[in-house]
Amino acid sequence: NAGVTQTPKFQVLKTGQSMTLQCAQDMNHEYMSWYRQDPGMGLRLIHYSVGAGITDQGEVPNGYNVSRSTTEDFPLRLLSAAPSQTSVYFCASSYSRHLLTDTQYFGPGTRLTVL
């Protein structure tokens, strides 16, 4: 299987533009999440989902929307991009929300620049 895939790998936006970062997994994982990684900041949780139709906010949700219509896909939407959203975005998934027993798998990331 392909694991966790993310598209695109790189993206440049202008301030105010909208776009969707795609994330898909083929492991039948219920739990999916989005993180952003900024230099010197580690990874910070944006949104997560414990199953189709269920989403919740993480540490830094402002400016981002998510939905989970299928088990496989968990897109992240930027409605009006801002330079502060320049970052590397990682999608992750695991079989369940119980991270003690279920390993979280990360995608390769999307590098986003907002001018």
3-class secondary-structure state, position 36: strand
**Residue 62 interacts with another protein (CB under 8 A): yes or no:** no
Integer Cα distance of 35 and 76 in angstroms: 10
- Exactly one of 17, 19, 27, 44 binds another protein (CB under 8 A); that residue is 44
Stretch that binds another protein, among 13-21, 69-77, 79-87, 103-111 (CB under 8 A): 103-111
Nearest Cα to Cα of residue 110 among 34, 54, 18: 34
**Residue 55 interacts with another protein (CB under 8 A): yes or no:** no
Integer Cα distance of 61 and 65 in angstroms: 8
**Residue 100 interacts with another protein (CB under 8 A): yes or no:** yes
Integer Cα distance of 85 and 26 in angstroms: 28
41 or 79: whose CB is closer to another protein? 41
**Residue 40 interacts with another protein (CB under 8 A): yes or no:** yes
